[in-house]
Amino acid sequence: MAQVDLAKRRRIMQRSMKLGHCICDPRRPCPCDVFKQDGICPCAGEKPTPVAAADVKLLQLVHNAGCASKIAPSDLEAVLGRLPAVEDPAVISGMPSGDDAGIYRITDQTCLVQTVDVMTPCVDDAYTFGRICAANCLSDVYAMGGVPRTALSILAFPSETLDGDIIYQMTRGAMDVFADANVALIGGHSIKDEEIKLGFSITGTVSAARAVRHETAKPGDVLVLTKPLGVGVLGFCRQIGRPGGDARCQAESMATLNRAAAEAMNEVGASACTDVTGFGLFGHLISLCRHSGVTAQISADRLPAFDGALEALADGVVPGAIERNTEYVGDDLSIAEGVPEANVLLGYDAQTSGGLMICVPAERHEKLVAALKARHTLAATIGRIVEKSDGKIVVTLAGQDASAAPVTEIVDELPHAAAKAADEPCCASADGKNGAGEVCCATPAGSAAPARAKSATDGNSTVASTIEAWTAMLRSSADDGAIDAKTKELITYALVILHRCGPCLRIHHEKALKMGITPEQLAEALWLAVFIGGAPVKMFYDEALAAAPAPQAQKPKGGACCG
C-alpha cells in the first residue's frame, strides 16, 4: 500500500462520519468494513496493494463467464417489445428485426452496420480475453456481410483492487485482433465496477443490396455452421473445478475472426445468416426461424463439439445459461425419439465468439463448403429449412425425416448431477424434516429417512440397511472424538460454503450459533473456504445469508467481494 496521507484521511473521514455515509459509497457507514479490516480508507484514495496481473485468474472473478452473462433472451424480448417503434426510413434493420446488427442507409450505395457487445471474462488470461472479446464483437458485422471499420471500447473494472496492467493486457489483445481485421480503435469509456466487463461498439459498412439478414431464410436452404460448440459448458466446468477439455484450443477458436467465413458466404451468396453466441445455437436459430416464418430441421448427431462437451452434459453439468436459453425457445422445439439428451443440450449451450450459421440454397451448398474449406474454416452441415411455419425447430438424427419421425415435446426438466425433487430439502433430519437434530445431506435424494426407504424398497433390506449405515456414519462423524464436535462443525461449515449448498449453509449457520460458536469463529471458517474457492465462494455466501432472514443478523463481518 502507498504511503497514507493522514491529514487527507482525517478530513474525509470526519466529513463522512458527520453524514453517516461514506462519500465514495453511500451504501456503507463510516468507518466502513474496508477500513476496519484492511486499515485503508477508499474515500481518501487509499488502495490495497493490487494483485499482479500474472496472479489473477479472471474466471474466478465473475458469476457468469463470457456471453453466458447476457440477460435471458425471453426477459430481454419482454422489455424490448414494449418500446415504441423507430420511425426512420433510413433504418433498414433495427430492433424489431432481431438481427445481429443494425443497418442504417447513408447513401443509395452505402449503409452503416452498427453493433455493440459487452461480456465478462471467459478465460483466465487477460490478453487472450481481450482477443476473444474483440473477435466476438466484430462477429455481428461479419454475420450481416459487412466490413467492420472502427471500434469504441466499453470497460468496467474494479480499479481499487486489481492491477491496471490487466486493463493494458486486455486492450492490447483486442488491438492485435483489430489490427488483423483492419479496424481502428478510436476511443471508449470506462467505469468502476465489482466485475470485469469488456466490450466494443463496432461500426462497419455494407451495400444495401449485399446485406445478409436473418429474416430471409427459405424452405430448401441448407444450414452450415463454421465453429464447434461447447465452450459454454466447458468454461463452466473449469469454474467449478472439473476438467474442461483443451482450454487453449477453445480459446483459439473463440479468438478466430469470422471474417473468412463471411468472405466465403459473400462469395457464394447466402439466403440468411446469424452468428452463434450467448443464446446458443437453438436460441439464435429460433429467432431466425420466427422472423423468417420457417421450420428448421437439425441433425443433433451432426453438431460439431469440442472434446469433452458432450461428456460433461451427459454427466449432468448443465450451466444456468442452458436453462435460460431453453425457456426462450420453449415449445417451438421438438425432439425426435432416439436423440441423445446431451446432443440437445449442446444446441442450447451459450457460446462466446461462436461461428456463423449460414443458410444457403441447396444448389449452392457444395460451393459454400468448398469456399469455407479453401479458407481453412469448419463447414459442418447441420440441417436444413424444411417448410413455412410461424417458427419451429425439429431435432432429429441424421437421415430421419422431420415430417415422418415420431416427435415428442422437449423435456421440462434438465438433468442434474443428482436427481431430486425440486422441493426436496438438501438437508434432512432423521424424520425427513428440517429442524433440530438434522444431519446435512444425510439421506440420498428421493428417500427422506431409513424407515421410509424400507417400505419403498419392498423388502430390499440391503438398500435399507445401507441407508441406515450411511445415516449412522454421518451422525457419528459429528460427535466428539479425536476432534471435538465444535471444531468438526466449523470444518463442516467451511466445506458447505466451499461446495456452495444454500440450504446446508442456512442449517449449519443456525446449528453453529446454537452450539455456542461465535460469529468471529464462523468468519474465520468462511475465509478459509474463500481462500480455497475464491471470489465466487464469497459471493455465494453473501447471497445465501441475505436470503435467510433469521441468520442474517449473525452474518460475520466482511467487505464486499473483491473490495
CA dihedral 18, 23, 28, 30 (to 10 degrees): -40
440 annotated active-site = no
DSSP per-residue letters across 164-190: THHHHHHHHHHHHHHHHTT-EEEEEEE
Backbone Cα Rg of the chain: 27
Q: Residue 283 — φ and ψ, nearest 5°?
A: -65, -45
Task: For residue 427, give Cα distances in angstroms to 213, 419, 444.
Answer: 52, 15, 10
Three cell numbers at 391?
417458427
CB 327 within 8 A of CB 74: yes
CB 322 within 8 A of CB 384: no
Spatial separation of the C-alpha atoms in residues 162 and 563, rounded to whole Å: 9
CB 184 within 8 A of CB 150: yes
Task: For residue 186, give Cα distances in angstroms to 65, 150, 164, 191, 293.
Answer: 27, 7, 20, 18, 40
Query: In the 8-state DSSP scheme, what is residue 154?
Result: E
Three cell numbers at 308?
469433452
Q: Is 256 exposed, middle or buried (0-12, 13-18, 19+ CB in 10 A)?
A: buried
Spatial separation of the C-alpha atoms in residues 17 and 137, rounded to whole Å: 45
Provide the residue type at 207 as one letter: S
**Nearest C-alpha neighbor of 444 from the set 425, 422, 459:** 425
Bridge partners (DSSP) listed for residue 162: 51
Evaluated on CA atoms 520, 524, 529, 530, the torsion sign reads positive
Q: At what angle do helices 502-514 and 485-499 cross, to 10 degrees?
A: 160
Q: Which residues contact 133 (CB under 8 A, 6 or more apart)?
A: 117, 119, 170, 173, 174, 198, 199, 200, 353
Sequence-ordered alpha helix ranges (H) in 337-482: 341-348, 365-374, 450-456, 461-477
Spatial separation of the C-alpha atoms in residues 316 and 349, rounded to whole Å: 13
Of the residues 22, 32, 43, 67, only one is catalytic, namely: 67
CB 58 within 8 A of CB 123: yes
Phi-psi label, residue 399: left if phi above 0, alpha if psi -120 to 50, beta otherwise: left
CB 281 within 8 A of CB 345: no
Grid cell 449449519 is found at: 508
User: Hey, how many other C-beta atoms are within 10 angstroms of the C-beta on 81?
Assistant: 9
Cis peptide before 96 (omega within 30 of 0): no
User: Hey, how many other C-beta atoms are within 10 angstroms of the C-beta on 337?
Assistant: 11
Q: Do the strands 111-119 and 222-225 form a parallel or antiparallel pair, or are they unpaired?
A: unpaired
**Catalytic residue IDs:** 67
